[in-house]
Amino acid sequence: MEQSRAEPRTAPTAVSPSGSPAADFAGPPGSRTERRAETTARGEHTHSEPAAPRVVPQRHSVRDQILEALRTALLDGELAPGEVYSAPALAERFGVSPTPVREAMQLLVSEGAVETVPNRGFRVACHSPRDLAELSEIRALLEVPAVLALARTQPTEHWAGLRPLAEDTLQAAACGDRTAYAETDRAFHRAMLELTGNRQLVAVAEDVQRRAHLSALRASPAPRATDLLAEAADHLALLDALTDQDFPAVERLVRGHF
């Protein structure tokens, strides 16, 4: 009996996405498309081209805008201490959905500005003179050693870069704008501490400073324009002392600033 012979096995023909052989879409000789087609024809595994990144809606930008609006309302006294505000009511006020308002309020909870009231909303926190004194003490513990170290290590020409920020605080104080002053004051102190290169120090100090600004408004009468001007003038005097490397004056100005 004659043995049957197996038909020789042939490699499958690579085809293009349209169904035609790979050679039909290999591209110019030596091109990446041709090399990929040849690899496919040999049965080797290839990685596909990376897909274009998917655009994700930036919901955080809405939350951040609401957060800044709420901070301004707290500093201006539009959100009164002890009062409870619901997320839906605030959302209607700002013309957004309740979700970014709740997210912003949770951040304010972590900052000690408001408190969560179950099934009702958020209560604006009340602050006592003791709260302000404790926060001022923490600020001094963080910033005084840092600025004194900078006074001895930073080139004197670096301080000129902070002068526009100090002048911004003076302008805000002259206008009696407490919200603008708080913002420019934080910007000045943040820029100074950034010279240390310690990101954690910058973040913690800014959080404490934000709490202190709010506590100052809650625990004492609103500062007069003359008080703000005197505080802003300390910034310029400090920069002068740093430029002159007058270390006793630097320490006196920093310790007296809190």
CATH code of the domain occupying 129-255? 1.20.120.530
pLDDT tens track for 49-59 = 444 334 334 45
pLDDT higher than 70, residue 258: yes
Rounded Cα–Cα distance for residues 201 and 187 (Å): 14
Domain boundaries, the chain: 59-124, 129-255
**CATH architecture of the domain covering 59-124:** Orthogonal Bundle (1.10)
Give the CA distances from residue 136 to residues 130, 157, 215, 258, in Å, rounded to whole numbers and listed in that order. 10, 29, 10, 5
Output DSSP code: residue 19.
Answer: S
pLDDT tens per residue across span 209-255: 999 988 887 666 666 668 889 999 999 999 999 999 999 999 999 99
Cα–Cα distance measured from residue 64 to residue 61, given in angstroms and rounded to the nearest whole number: 5
Q: What is the average pLDDT across 149-178?
A: 94
Tell me the DSSP string of 69-126.
Answer: HHHHHHHHTSS-TT-EE-HHHHHHHHTS-HHHHHHHHHHHHHTTSEEEETTTEEEEPP
Nearest to 162 by CA among 234, 72, 75: 234
Between residues 41 and 175, the one the model is more confident about: 175
**What's the mean pLDDT in 29-44?**
44
Run of H or E including 8: none
Contact 210, 107 (CB under 8 A): no
Residue 220, pLDDT score: 60
Of 111 and 139, the structure prediction assigns the larger pLDDT to: 139
Please determine, for residue 44, whether its predicted confidence score (pLDDT) is greater than 50. no
What is the pTM for the complete model shown?
Answer: 0.69
Eight-class DSSP state of 12:
P
Q: What is the average pLDDT score of the chain?
A: 80
